[in-house]
């Protein structure tokens, strides 16, 4: 092989392997969706943890609760750790930016230490979506974590000063808080695996707050920004599944990955909610789709059972009889 060709190939491989910096990815997200402001997790709405409708004390974390987080547990003490907070940073006609500050270790009331912070930035114009994650050092401990009082913006230019906190203190550099795009893109499970129906997930846990943007039928391009996400998620194809006249997908899309495999079963009483107590397993709370379920069990079956069975069949075989696949990007279509 000629030396020049070898050099060109080597250069191609090197470029493909080069990871984007947080600043590079953040600036693309800011330019194509929205600038993400620095924020205070403590300004967010606390997500209640209750047992039989009664709030639990901040410590210790109960093993089960009424509305478990249903999130990947990892090193969390349980699905029912109190103190997590959610906040919407922007929600208008062009962009939605949402943050959740998660506690995986129970801490005293009022603690501003968190174990994981996630931000999702979503364009309503074309569906482009960006993903940011910060994680506390392991092993997780009660007396340390991410200081959530002033979380730096992940989308400022390199060496640009972060705005000061209200008390005048400055947050740490963004690179010291947020994971790199490559680390987020390669994390397991992949963001897109769970967020396969759209950028924002609904569950009884998060629905206790008012901090949840909605775009159930909007454009969705989960891997349109960032080379690390495009490469890591190249084989992951998120699309919607429906059938003619389906009562479930009249309100929201049904994604082909986690939504089909797990969420559809958990939300309709056909699978246990991890971390859920006896209360969570009784109707109507066992059937948290549709939201605000005011039906009797017999009424629920009349309205949703047939549609659920058809969706389950199409999840197993999207090309089966009567199944329709819905692509998410601009110019989305059913086929």
331: in domain? no
pLDDT at 67 over 60: yes
Give the residue ranges of DSSP H helices in the chain: 3-17, 22-32, 174-177, 181-185, 191-194, 227-232, 258, 264-266, 297-300, 306-316
- The pLDDT of residue 158: 55
Do strands 146-147 and 45-46 pair parallel, antiparallel, or not at all (unpaired)? unpaired
Domain holding 281, by residue range, is 21-326
Q: Establish if 3 belongs to a structural domain.
A: no
pLDDT of res. 157: 60
CA separation for the pair 141, 118 (Å, rounded): 19
> Is residue 13 predicted with pLDDT exceeding 60?
no
Q: Given this model, what pLDDT does residue 108 score?
A: 97
223-261: pLDDT as tens digits: 999 999 999 999 999 999 999 999 999 999 999 999 999
CA distance 100 to 46: 10
Whether the pLDDT of residue 207 is over 80: the answer is: yes
Average confidence score pLDDT of the chain = 91
Is 1 contained in some domain? no
Q: pLDDT-based confidence at 330, cuts 50/70/90? A: confident
For the chain, what's the residue count? 335
Region 103-132 average pLDDT = 97
Beta pairing, strands 146-147 & 240-243: unpaired
- Residue 102 has phi, psi (to 5 degrees) of -100, 140
Rounded distance between C-alpha atoms, residue 199 and residue 129, angstroms? 7
Confidence of residue 106 (pLDDT cuts 50, 70, 90): very high
- Percent of the chain with pLDDT strictly greater than 70: 90
Identify whether 14 is part of a domain.
Answer: no
Tell me if 153 is assigned to some domain.
yes
In sequence order, which residues have a C-beta less than 8 Å from that of residue 159 and are 6 or more positions away?
Answer: none
Specify the number of domains making up the chain.
Answer: 1
Question: What per-residue confidence (pLDDT) applies to 160?
Answer: 61
pLDDT, tens digit (0-9, with 9 covering 90-100), for 15-66: 445 789 999 999 999 999 999 999 999 999 999 999 999 999 999 999 999 9
Is the bond leading into 160 cis (omega within 30 degrees of zero)? no
Is the pLDDT assigned to residue 3 strictly greater than 90?
no
Give every CB contact of residue 88 below 8 A, 6+ residues apart in sequence: 96, 97, 98, 99, 211, 212, 213
Specify whether the CB–CB gap between 87 and 99 falls below 8 A: yes
Encoded tokens for 127: 């569906």
pLDDT digits (tens, 9 = 90+) for 183-193: 999 999 999 99
- Whether 335 maps to a domain, the answer reads no
Confirm whether 36 is domain-assigned.
Answer: yes
The predicted-structure confidence for 128-177, as pLDDT tens digits, reads as follows 999 999 999 999 999 999 999 989 999 876 556 666 666 777 778 899 99
Can you give the pTM of this predicted structure?
0.90
Q: Would you say residue 10 has pLDDT above 70?
A: no
Asked if the structure places residue 48 within a domain, the reply is yes
Given this model, what pLDDT does residue 163 score?
67
Tokens read off for 102: 């998660």
Comparing 159 with 106, which gets the higher pLDDT?
106
């Amino acid at each position: 092989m000629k030396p020049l060709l070898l050099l060109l190939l080597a250069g191609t491989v090197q470029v493909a392997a080069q990871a984007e910096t947080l600043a590079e990815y953040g600036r693309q997200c800011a330019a194509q969706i929205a600038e993400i402001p620095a924020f205070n997790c403590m300004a967010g709405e606390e997500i209640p943890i209750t047992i039989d409708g009664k709030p639990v004390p901040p410590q210790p974390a109960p093993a089960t609760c009424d509305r478990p987080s249903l999130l990947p547990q990892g090193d969390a003490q349980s699905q029912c750790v109190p103190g997590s907070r959610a906040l919407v940073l922007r929600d208008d006609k062009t962009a939605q930016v949402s943050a959740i500050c998660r506690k995986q270790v129970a801490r005293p009331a009022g603690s501003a230490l968190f174990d994981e912070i996630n931000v999702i930035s979503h364009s309503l114009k074309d569906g482009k979506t960006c993903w940011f994650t910060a994680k506390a050092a392991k092993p997780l401990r009660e007396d340390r974590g991410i200081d959530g009082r002033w979380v730096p913006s992940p989308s400022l230019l390199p060496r640009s000063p972060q705005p000061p906190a209200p008390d005048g203190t400055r947050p740490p550099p963004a690179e010291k808080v947020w994971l790199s795009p490559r680390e987020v893109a390669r994390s397991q499970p992949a963001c897109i695996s769970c967020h396969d129906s759209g950028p924002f997930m609904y569950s009884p846990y998060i629905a206790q707050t008012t901090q949840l943007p909605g775009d159930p039928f909007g454009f969705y391009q989960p891997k349109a920004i960032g080379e690390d996400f495009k490469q890591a998620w190249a084989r992951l194809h998120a699309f919607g599944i429906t059938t003619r006249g389906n009562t479930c997908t009249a309100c929201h899309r049904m994604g082909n990955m986690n939504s089909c495999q797990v969420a559809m079963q958990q939300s309709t009483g056909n699978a246990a909610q991890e971390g859920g107590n006896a209360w969570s397993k009784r109707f109507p709370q066992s059937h948290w789709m549709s939201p605000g379920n005011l039906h009797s069990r017999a009424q629920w079956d009349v309205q949703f059972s047939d549609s659920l069975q058809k969706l389950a069949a199409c999840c197993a075989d999207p090309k089966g009889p009567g199944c329709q696949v819905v692509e998410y990007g601009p110019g989305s279509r059913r086929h």
